[in-house]
Amino acid sequence: MFPERIEFLQRKFGLLFSPDDKVIFFNPESVTHCLSLSFDNLVTYQTFYPVVDQLETAGIKCVQNISQQKFNLAIISIPKSKKLARHLIYLATKAVPEGLIIVDGNKTSGIESIIRDLKKRTKIANVISKAHGKTVWFETPADLQIYEDFPIVVEGSFETQAGVFSSDGIDPGSEILVDAAAQDLSGAGADLGGGWGYLSAKVLETNSISELHFIEADFNALNLAKNNVNDQRVKFYWCDALKWDAPKLLDFIIMNPPFHYLGKAMPSLGVDFIKVASRNLKKSGTLWMVANRHLPYEDAINDHFSSFTELSGSKKFKVIRAKPK
Ligand SMILES: C[S@@+](CC[C@H](N)C(=O)[O-])C[C@H]1O[C@@H](n2cnc3c(N)ncnc32)[C@H](O)[C@@H]1O
Protein backbone atom coordinates (compact mmCIF):
# COMPACT_ATOMS: atom_id res chain seq x y z
CA MET A 1 0.00 0.00 0.00
CA PHE A 2 1.21 3.49 -0.85
CA PRO A 3 1.38 4.95 2.72
CA GLU A 4 3.51 2.03 3.97
CA ARG A 5 5.95 2.31 1.09
CA ILE A 6 6.35 6.10 1.26
CA GLU A 7 6.94 5.98 5.03
CA PHE A 8 9.50 3.19 4.52
CA LEU A 9 11.23 5.33 1.91
CA GLN A 10 11.32 8.31 4.25
CA ARG A 11 12.84 6.15 7.04
CA LYS A 12 15.42 4.30 4.95
CA PHE A 13 16.21 6.83 2.23
CA GLY A 14 15.54 10.07 4.11
CA LEU A 15 18.09 11.96 1.99
CA LEU A 16 15.71 11.79 -0.95
CA PHE A 17 13.44 14.21 0.89
CA SER A 18 14.23 17.72 2.08
CA PRO A 19 11.85 19.86 4.13
CA ASP A 20 12.37 22.63 1.55
CA ASP A 21 11.30 20.49 -1.39
CA LYS A 22 8.49 21.78 -3.51
CA VAL A 23 6.50 18.59 -4.09
CA ILE A 24 3.91 17.69 -6.72
CA PHE A 25 1.98 14.51 -5.98
CA PHE A 26 0.14 12.95 -8.95
CA ASN A 27 -2.98 10.92 -8.24
CA PRO A 28 -3.14 10.73 -4.43
CA GLU A 29 -6.20 8.60 -3.65
CA SER A 30 -6.99 10.18 -0.31
CA VAL A 31 -5.82 12.63 2.33
CA THR A 32 -4.15 9.68 4.10
CA HIS A 33 -1.78 9.34 1.13
CA CYS A 34 -0.53 12.88 1.79
CA LEU A 35 -0.10 12.71 5.55
CA SER A 36 3.63 12.01 5.55
CA LEU A 37 4.28 15.12 3.40
CA SER A 38 4.30 18.74 4.53
CA PHE A 39 1.07 20.31 3.20
CA ASP A 40 2.75 23.74 2.99
CA ASN A 41 4.99 22.80 0.06
CA LEU A 42 2.63 20.30 -1.54
CA VAL A 43 0.55 20.54 -4.70
CA THR A 44 -1.53 17.54 -5.70
CA TYR A 45 -2.71 16.68 -9.20
CA GLN A 46 -6.05 14.90 -9.13
CA THR A 47 -8.93 14.91 -11.63
CA PHE A 48 -11.56 12.80 -9.81
CA TYR A 49 -13.91 15.20 -8.02
CA PRO A 50 -14.74 13.19 -4.85
CA VAL A 51 -11.00 12.94 -4.06
CA VAL A 52 -10.38 16.59 -5.02
CA ASP A 53 -13.14 17.57 -2.61
CA GLN A 54 -11.53 15.59 0.25
CA LEU A 55 -8.07 17.02 -0.45
CA GLU A 56 -9.24 20.61 -0.66
CA THR A 57 -11.36 20.24 2.48
CA ALA A 58 -8.19 19.10 4.28
CA GLY A 59 -6.39 22.25 3.06
CA ILE A 60 -4.31 20.52 0.36
CA LYS A 61 -3.83 22.44 -2.88
CA CYS A 62 -5.13 20.49 -5.87
CA VAL A 63 -4.72 21.12 -9.63
CA GLN A 64 -6.05 19.45 -12.80
CA ASN A 65 -3.49 20.89 -15.21
CA ILE A 66 0.26 21.38 -15.14
CA SER A 67 1.12 25.07 -15.19
CA GLN A 68 4.47 26.83 -15.50
CA GLN A 69 5.15 26.21 -11.79
CA LYS A 70 8.26 24.03 -11.21
CA PHE A 71 8.96 21.54 -8.42
CA ASN A 72 11.97 19.61 -7.02
CA LEU A 73 10.16 16.36 -6.35
CA ALA A 74 7.29 14.53 -8.03
CA ILE A 75 5.55 11.51 -6.58
CA ILE A 76 3.26 9.48 -8.82
CA SER A 77 0.85 6.92 -7.45
CA ILE A 78 0.04 5.12 -10.68
CA PRO A 79 -3.55 4.57 -11.83
CA LYS A 80 -4.57 1.24 -13.40
CA SER A 81 -4.60 2.65 -16.94
CA LYS A 82 -1.06 2.08 -18.20
CA LYS A 83 -1.36 4.86 -20.79
CA LEU A 84 -2.49 7.33 -18.13
CA ALA A 85 0.25 6.17 -15.73
CA ARG A 86 2.86 6.87 -18.42
CA HIS A 87 1.29 10.22 -19.25
CA LEU A 88 1.46 11.26 -15.58
CA ILE A 89 5.15 10.26 -15.50
CA TYR A 90 5.68 12.42 -18.60
CA LEU A 91 3.89 15.35 -16.93
CA ALA A 92 6.08 14.84 -13.85
CA THR A 93 9.25 15.20 -15.93
CA LYS A 94 7.90 18.54 -17.18
CA ALA A 95 6.93 19.76 -13.70
CA VAL A 96 10.32 18.68 -12.27
CA PRO A 97 12.92 19.66 -14.89
CA GLU A 98 15.78 19.09 -12.41
CA GLY A 99 15.04 16.94 -9.43
CA LEU A 100 13.65 13.58 -8.44
CA ILE A 101 10.70 11.52 -9.66
CA ILE A 102 9.30 8.76 -7.44
CA VAL A 103 6.89 6.32 -9.09
CA ASP A 104 4.85 4.03 -6.88
CA GLY A 105 2.18 1.41 -7.41
CA ASN A 106 0.61 -1.81 -6.26
CA LYS A 107 1.39 -4.90 -8.31
CA THR A 108 -2.31 -5.07 -9.21
CA SER A 109 -1.99 -1.63 -10.81
CA GLY A 110 0.76 -2.85 -13.13
CA ILE A 111 3.77 -1.21 -11.47
CA GLU A 112 6.09 -4.01 -12.60
CA SER A 113 5.54 -3.40 -16.29
CA ILE A 114 5.85 0.36 -15.76
CA ILE A 115 9.25 -0.22 -14.12
CA ARG A 116 10.38 -2.63 -16.86
CA ASP A 117 9.66 0.03 -19.45
CA LEU A 118 11.19 2.87 -17.41
CA LYS A 119 14.42 0.87 -17.11
CA LYS A 120 14.71 0.83 -20.91
CA ARG A 121 14.28 4.58 -21.19
CA THR A 122 16.05 6.22 -18.27
CA LYS A 123 18.64 5.59 -15.57
CA ILE A 124 16.82 4.20 -12.54
CA ALA A 125 18.38 5.06 -9.16
CA ASN A 126 16.67 2.36 -7.12
CA VAL A 127 13.65 0.07 -6.79
CA ILE A 128 12.13 -1.17 -3.56
CA SER A 129 9.54 -3.87 -3.16
CA LYS A 130 7.13 -3.72 -0.22
CA ALA A 131 3.49 -4.19 0.81
CA HIS A 132 2.38 -5.84 -2.47
CA GLY A 133 3.87 -3.10 -4.58
CA LYS A 134 7.00 -1.34 -5.76
CA THR A 135 8.54 2.11 -5.69
CA VAL A 136 11.13 3.28 -8.19
CA TRP A 137 12.96 6.59 -8.47
CA PHE A 138 15.09 8.45 -10.97
CA GLU A 139 16.54 11.90 -11.51
CA THR A 140 15.57 14.49 -14.10
CA PRO A 141 16.25 15.74 -16.71
CA ALA A 142 14.88 12.58 -18.32
CA ASP A 143 13.47 12.44 -21.83
CA LEU A 144 10.17 10.61 -21.51
CA GLN A 145 8.31 12.50 -24.22
CA ILE A 146 7.33 9.10 -25.64
CA TYR A 147 4.93 8.69 -22.69
CA GLU A 148 2.89 11.75 -23.61
CA ASP A 149 -0.68 10.73 -24.38
CA PHE A 150 -3.05 12.46 -26.81
CA PRO A 151 -6.84 12.24 -27.21
CA ILE A 152 -8.01 9.83 -29.92
CA VAL A 153 -11.09 9.90 -32.13
CA VAL A 154 -13.44 6.90 -31.90
CA GLU A 155 -16.46 6.05 -34.06
CA GLY A 156 -15.60 8.81 -36.49
CA SER A 157 -16.32 11.82 -34.32
CA PHE A 158 -16.01 11.28 -30.56
CA GLU A 159 -12.81 12.22 -28.73
CA THR A 160 -11.63 10.11 -25.81
CA GLN A 161 -8.37 9.84 -23.91
CA ALA A 162 -6.46 7.49 -21.63
CA GLY A 163 -7.95 6.87 -18.22
CA VAL A 164 -11.57 7.87 -18.92
CA PHE A 165 -14.31 5.23 -18.86
CA SER A 166 -14.49 3.21 -22.12
CA SER A 167 -11.64 5.17 -23.66
CA ASP A 168 -11.27 2.80 -26.64
CA GLY A 169 -14.80 3.23 -27.94
CA ILE A 170 -18.49 3.23 -27.18
CA ASP A 171 -19.56 1.17 -24.18
CA PRO A 172 -21.93 -1.58 -25.46
CA GLY A 173 -24.19 -1.09 -22.41
CA SER A 174 -24.66 2.58 -23.20
CA GLU A 175 -25.41 1.70 -26.83
CA ILE A 176 -28.22 -0.61 -25.69
CA LEU A 177 -29.61 2.09 -23.39
CA VAL A 178 -29.72 4.60 -26.26
CA ASP A 179 -31.66 2.11 -28.39
CA ALA A 180 -34.15 1.48 -25.58
CA ALA A 181 -34.67 5.04 -24.33
CA ALA A 182 -33.87 7.67 -26.95
CA GLN A 183 -37.32 7.86 -28.59
CA ASP A 184 -39.16 8.18 -25.27
CA LEU A 185 -37.24 11.04 -23.67
CA SER A 186 -38.74 14.50 -23.40
CA GLY A 187 -38.58 17.59 -21.20
CA ALA A 188 -35.79 18.21 -18.70
CA GLY A 189 -33.42 15.42 -17.74
CA ALA A 190 -30.01 14.44 -16.49
CA ASP A 191 -27.23 12.05 -17.45
CA LEU A 192 -25.65 10.88 -14.19
CA GLY A 193 -22.01 9.87 -14.69
CA GLY A 194 -22.01 11.01 -18.30
CA GLY A 195 -18.40 10.01 -19.07
CA TRP A 196 -17.06 11.39 -22.35
CA GLY A 197 -20.60 12.03 -23.50
CA TYR A 198 -21.79 9.22 -25.76
CA LEU A 199 -25.19 8.69 -24.11
CA SER A 200 -26.01 12.40 -24.00
CA ALA A 201 -24.83 13.07 -27.54
CA LYS A 202 -27.08 10.32 -28.90
CA VAL A 203 -30.23 11.06 -26.91
CA LEU A 204 -29.98 14.77 -27.75
CA GLU A 205 -30.59 13.84 -31.38
CA THR A 206 -34.26 13.98 -30.38
CA ASN A 207 -35.80 17.47 -30.32
CA SER A 208 -38.22 16.70 -27.50
CA ILE A 209 -35.51 17.15 -24.87
CA SER A 210 -35.58 20.74 -23.60
CA GLU A 211 -32.59 20.64 -21.22
CA LEU A 212 -30.05 18.11 -20.02
CA HIS A 213 -27.89 18.26 -16.90
CA PHE A 214 -24.61 16.45 -17.50
CA ILE A 215 -23.00 15.22 -14.27
CA GLU A 216 -19.48 13.79 -14.26
CA ALA A 217 -16.75 13.46 -11.62
CA ASP A 218 -13.80 12.88 -13.94
CA PHE A 219 -12.44 16.27 -15.03
CA ASN A 220 -10.89 14.86 -18.21
CA ALA A 221 -14.05 13.01 -19.23
CA LEU A 222 -16.14 16.13 -18.61
CA ASN A 223 -13.88 18.23 -20.83
CA LEU A 224 -14.08 15.67 -23.61
CA ALA A 225 -17.87 15.63 -23.23
CA LYS A 226 -18.05 19.41 -23.65
CA ASN A 227 -16.76 18.90 -27.20
CA ASN A 228 -18.49 15.58 -27.90
CA VAL A 229 -21.90 16.87 -26.75
CA ASN A 230 -21.86 20.27 -28.29
CA ASP A 231 -25.44 21.35 -27.61
CA GLN A 232 -26.96 24.52 -26.12
CA ARG A 233 -29.48 22.48 -24.11
CA VAL A 234 -26.74 20.93 -21.94
CA LYS A 235 -25.44 22.22 -18.63
CA PHE A 236 -22.18 20.56 -17.52
CA TYR A 237 -21.30 19.92 -13.87
CA TRP A 238 -17.93 18.69 -12.64
CA CYS A 239 -19.09 17.31 -9.29
CA ASP A 240 -19.93 14.27 -7.20
CA ALA A 241 -23.28 12.95 -8.44
CA LEU A 242 -24.03 11.65 -4.95
CA LYS A 243 -24.16 15.25 -3.70
CA TRP A 244 -25.93 16.74 -6.73
CA ASP A 245 -29.45 18.11 -6.70
CA ALA A 246 -31.24 19.21 -9.84
CA PRO A 247 -32.38 22.87 -9.87
CA LYS A 248 -35.95 21.51 -10.25
CA LEU A 249 -37.36 17.98 -10.36
CA LEU A 250 -36.74 16.23 -13.67
CA ASP A 251 -38.77 14.41 -16.31
CA PHE A 252 -36.12 11.77 -16.90
CA ILE A 253 -32.73 10.51 -15.81
CA ILE A 254 -30.50 8.31 -17.93
CA MET A 255 -27.52 6.54 -16.46
CA ASN A 256 -24.97 3.80 -16.85
CA PRO A 257 -23.84 4.02 -13.22
CA PRO A 258 -20.27 3.35 -12.13
CA PHE A 259 -19.49 0.33 -9.99
CA HIS A 260 -15.81 1.06 -9.48
CA TYR A 261 -14.20 3.60 -7.17
CA LEU A 262 -10.57 4.42 -8.04
CA GLY A 263 -10.20 1.17 -9.93
CA LYS A 264 -11.71 -1.07 -7.24
CA ALA A 265 -15.10 -2.77 -7.59
CA MET A 266 -17.81 -1.03 -5.53
CA PRO A 267 -21.33 -2.06 -6.61
CA SER A 268 -22.84 0.03 -3.79
CA LEU A 269 -22.06 3.09 -5.97
CA GLY A 270 -24.77 1.98 -8.38
CA VAL A 271 -27.22 1.80 -5.47
CA ASP A 272 -26.22 5.32 -4.44
CA PHE A 273 -26.85 6.55 -8.00
CA ILE A 274 -30.34 4.95 -7.86
CA LYS A 275 -31.05 6.97 -4.70
CA VAL A 276 -29.85 10.18 -6.40
CA ALA A 277 -32.16 9.45 -9.34
CA SER A 278 -35.16 8.83 -7.07
CA ARG A 279 -34.79 12.14 -5.23
CA ASN A 280 -34.35 14.19 -8.43
CA LEU A 281 -37.27 12.89 -10.51
CA LYS A 282 -40.84 14.22 -10.68
CA LYS A 283 -43.50 11.71 -9.67
CA SER A 284 -44.38 11.46 -13.35
CA GLY A 285 -40.70 11.13 -14.34
CA THR A 286 -38.76 8.07 -15.51
CA LEU A 287 -35.40 6.53 -14.71
CA TRP A 288 -33.67 4.71 -17.55
CA MET A 289 -30.60 2.77 -16.56
CA VAL A 290 -28.33 0.11 -17.93
CA ALA A 291 -26.21 -2.19 -15.82
CA ASN A 292 -24.18 -5.34 -16.11
CA ARG A 293 -26.59 -8.23 -15.60
CA HIS A 294 -24.76 -9.58 -12.54
CA LEU A 295 -25.12 -6.34 -10.55
CA PRO A 296 -27.90 -6.67 -7.94
CA TYR A 297 -29.79 -3.37 -8.23
CA GLU A 298 -33.38 -4.65 -8.15
CA ASP A 299 -33.78 -4.43 -4.34
CA ALA A 300 -32.61 -0.80 -4.34
CA ILE A 301 -34.97 0.04 -7.20
CA ASN A 302 -37.85 -1.62 -5.32
CA ASP A 303 -37.00 0.41 -2.22
CA HIS A 304 -36.79 3.78 -3.98
CA PHE A 305 -39.20 3.47 -6.94
CA SER A 306 -42.84 2.42 -7.15
CA SER A 307 -42.40 0.06 -10.10
CA PHE A 308 -39.86 -1.04 -12.66
CA THR A 309 -39.70 -2.99 -15.88
CA GLU A 310 -36.75 -4.78 -17.41
CA LEU A 311 -36.60 -3.97 -21.10
CA SER A 312 -34.85 -5.90 -23.82
CA GLY A 313 -31.17 -5.86 -22.96
CA SER A 314 -28.49 -8.34 -23.95
CA LYS A 315 -26.76 -11.36 -22.46
CA LYS A 316 -24.41 -9.03 -20.61
CA PHE A 317 -26.56 -5.96 -19.89
CA LYS A 318 -29.99 -5.25 -18.49
CA VAL A 319 -31.94 -2.08 -19.23
CA ILE A 320 -34.34 -0.96 -16.51
CA ARG A 321 -37.12 1.62 -16.70
CA ALA A 322 -38.43 2.71 -13.31
CA LYS A 323 -41.21 5.02 -12.08
CA PRO A 324 -40.75 7.06 -8.86
CA LYS A 325 -42.84 6.61 -5.70
C1 LIG B 1 -20.04 3.32 -16.40
S2 LIG B 1 -19.42 4.94 -16.73
C3 LIG B 1 -20.64 5.55 -17.89
C4 LIG B 1 -20.11 6.69 -18.73
C5 LIG B 1 -21.04 7.21 -19.82
N6 LIG B 1 -22.38 7.48 -19.33
C7 LIG B 1 -21.11 6.28 -20.97
O8 LIG B 1 -22.18 5.77 -21.22
O9 LIG B 1 -20.11 6.04 -21.63
C10 LIG B 1 -19.75 5.79 -15.24
C11 LIG B 1 -19.23 7.22 -15.17
O12 LIG B 1 -19.53 7.74 -13.88
C13 LIG B 1 -18.46 8.57 -13.46
N14 LIG B 1 -18.50 8.66 -11.99
C15 LIG B 1 -17.99 7.80 -11.08
N16 LIG B 1 -18.27 8.21 -9.84
C17 LIG B 1 -18.94 9.38 -9.96
C18 LIG B 1 -19.49 10.29 -9.03
N19 LIG B 1 -19.43 10.07 -7.73
N20 LIG B 1 -20.11 11.38 -9.51
C21 LIG B 1 -20.21 11.62 -10.84
N22 LIG B 1 -19.71 10.78 -11.77
C23 LIG B 1 -19.10 9.67 -11.33
C24 LIG B 1 -17.22 7.88 -14.00
O25 LIG B 1 -16.14 8.78 -14.10
C26 LIG B 1 -17.73 7.36 -15.35
O27 LIG B 1 -17.47 8.29 -16.37
Of the three residues 91, 118, 147, the one that is the final residue of a domain is 147
When pLDDT is averaged across residues 127-155 and rounded to a whole number, the result is 96
Question: For residues 293 and 313, is the Cβ–Cβ distance under 8 A?
Answer: yes
* Contact (Cβ atoms closer than 8 angstroms) between residue 63 and residue 28: no
* Beta carbon of 218 within 6 Å of any ligand 1 atom: yes
Same domain, 198 and 300: yes
pLDDT in tens, 6-57: 999 999 898 888 888 999 999 999 999 999 888 899 999 999 999 999 999 9
Residues 59 and 169 grouped into a single domain: no
Pocket test for ligand 1, best of 199, 218, 224 (most atoms within 8 A of CB): 218
Q: What is the pTM of this model?
A: 0.96
How far is ligand 1, taken at its centre, from the CA of residue 64, in Å?
18
Residues 118 and 192 in one domain: no
Residues 99 and 26 in one domain: yes
What domain range is 199 assigned to? 152-324
CA of 29 to the centre of ligand 1 (A): 17
Express each pLDDT in 212-247 by its tens digit: 999 999 999 999 999 999 999 999 999 999 999 999
Kindly compute the dihedral angle of the four CA atoms of residues 298, 301, 305, 306, in this order, to the nearest 10 degrees.
Answer: 10
225 in Cβ contact with 237 (< 8 Å): no
Asked if residue 312 has pLDDT above 80, the reply is no
Among 154, 146, 148, residue whose Cα is nearest residue 171: 154
Residue 308 clears pLDDT 90, i.e. is over it: yes
Mean pLDDT for 128-154 is 96
Q: Look at the chain and report how many structural domains it folds into.
A: 2
Contact 170, 228 (CB under 8 A): no
CATH number at residue 9: 3.40.50.150
For residue 200, which atom of ligand 1 is closest to its CA? 6
107 and 59 in a single domain? The answer is: yes
Last-in-domain residue among 128, 147, 166: 147
